[in-house]
Amino acid sequence: AEIAGRQKAIAALQKEAPVVQAPEKLKRVESLAATLDNAWLQRKQYLTQAHQLQLLKDQARQTEDWLAAKEAFLNNDDLGDDLDAVETLIRKHAEFAKLLDSQLGRVDELERFAAGMLQDGHYDRPYIQRRLAEILARRDKLKESCTHRGEMLEQSRQLHQFLRNLSHEREWIALKMQTASDQSYRELSNLQSKIQKHAAFEAELAASKGRIDDVSNNGEELIEMGHYASKEISQHVEDLENLWRELQAAAKLRRERLQEAYQARVYLRGLDDFTAWLDDVEAQLLSEDHGRPPPTHPHAFQYTSAVPRGSQEPSLILLCTNG
């Protein structure tokens, strides 16, 4: 207002100068007026830029406080102790990421404001550039941290899903190992039924191999992807494959033992029949009635006399059938 009032006085002097014929005074007035205008404009520009700088500082401080709050949320190593906990954390992180994306505009506003100040040739250009670079760096790091935590949570979900499937198969193998390790073949009764049940058991194992392979392949895929728990996963895959091989070996051994037991039962049954036949023959031979020929076994045995190669004596050859 004072400058505007002085401008009126200067204008009046400029009008009076030709009348009083004082050109030197007129030039001096014009010079002073120009100097005053220039000084006023410079002062105005300085004050405007100072005000803008203060606004920038306030906006930068608020933005940094906001960044700090978001950084604190991401500064969390909790990846969940089980699958349900991880899925809860993933939902929360998705909500956070969505909110973060919607609020990052405040950093963009600060960047545009600072760019305008720099374009206008602000007197504190180095400070503006430094503060803007610091905030943009924190913003970029925040976005990277958000993405990284999302990836870590997804890897945690994959790990716990793998562990859940692994636990299920380990429990199943332990249950089937009880059957494969059963020694009921030592009891020779109902062997045919036991053999049939074991054949069905081995068919079940063959049909279930795909599930074991799926778990192992899933673990291998996680390892190839560079999962943070690759070492742990590798050990679990190796243990599972060892358990599966042990189960298969136990099932094979039980099948062989059942076959051996069945053969032993056939042999013992034939031996009992043969012993009974011998007892009958012996009874007939001790009998006073020598008019009848010795009895023959109706099903299991036949006998004949033969002279084996290199022998002078007849030998009794017994032919046993699986009756």
Q: Tokens standing for 287?
A: 């009998």
β-bridge mates for residue 305, sequence order: 316
Q: Does 146 lie in the same domain as 6?
A: yes
Q: Does 147 lie in the same domain as 18?
A: yes
Look at residue 114 and tell me if it is in a domain. Answer: yes
Q: Tokens standing for 151?
A: 């990836």
The DSSP string of 186-244 is GS-TTHHHHHHHHHHHHHHHHHHHHHHHHHHHHHHHHHHTT-TTHHHHHHHHHHHHHHH
Amino acid 264: pLDDT: 83
Look at residue 164 and tell me if it is in a domain. Answer: no
Q: Which residues contact 193 (CB under 8 A, 6 or more apart)?
A: none
Exposure on the CB side of residue 75, measured as CA atoms within 13 A? 7
Amino acid 288: pLDDT: 61
Q: What are phi and psi for residue 180, nearest 5 degrees? A: -65, -25
Domain limit, last residue, from 159, 194, 216: 159
Look at residue 323 and tell me if it is in a domain. Answer: no
Judge contact between 205 and 251, C-beta under 8 A: yes
Q: What domain range is 29 assigned to?
A: 2-159
Amino acid 30: pLDDT: 65
264 C-beta neighbours (distance < 10 Å), count: 13
Q: Does 137 lie in the same domain as 20?
A: yes
Amino acid 108: pLDDT: 93
pLDDT tens-digit map of 23-80: 666 566 566 666 766 776 777 778 888 898 999 999 999 999 999 999 999 998 899 9
Q: How far, rounded to the nearest angstrom, does the alpha carbon of residue 319 sit from its chain's CA centroid? A: 66
Amino acid 204: pLDDT: 95
Look at residue 173 and tell me if it is in a domain. Answer: no
Q: Tokens standing for 234?
A: 């590798």
Look at residue 168 and tell me if it is in a domain. Answer: no
Q: Does 22 lie in the same domain as 151?
A: yes
Q: Does 6 lie in the same domain as 154?
A: yes
Cα angle 58-49-34, degrees, rounded to a multiple of 5: 165
Q: Which letter, b or e, does each residue of 12-36 get, where b requires 16 or more Cβ atoms within 10 Å of its Cβ?
A: ebeeebeeeeeeeebeebeeebeee
pTM of the model: 0.69
Look at residue 165 and tell me if it is in a domain. Answer: no
Judge contact between 160 and 87, C-beta under 8 A: no
Instruction: List per-block mean pLDDT (blocks of 10 residues) for the chain, which spans 323 residues.
Output: 56 55 62 66 80 92 94 91 94 95 92 91 90 95 95 96 96 95 81 91 95 96 95 96 96 91 84 85 74 54 38 38 38
Amino acid 86: pLDDT: 95
Q: Does 242 lie in the same domain as 153?
A: no
The CA–CA distances, whole Å, from 229 to 77, 154, 216, 225 equal 14, 12, 15, 11
Q: Does 154 lie in the same domain as 237?
A: no
Can you tell me the distance from the alpha carbon of 25 to that of 299, in angstroms, rounded to the nearest whole number? 155
Nearest to 219 by CA among 174, 153, 148, 166: 166
**Which CATH number is 202's domain given?**
1.20.58.60
Q: How far, rounded to the nearest angstrom, does the alpha carbon of residue 111 sit from its chain's CA centroid? A: 39
Judge contact between 240 and 166, C-beta under 8 A: yes
Judge contact between 187 and 258, C-beta under 8 A: no
Amino acid 283: pLDDT: 83
The CA–CA distances, whole Å, from 260 to 68, 184, 187, 322 equal 75, 13, 12, 14
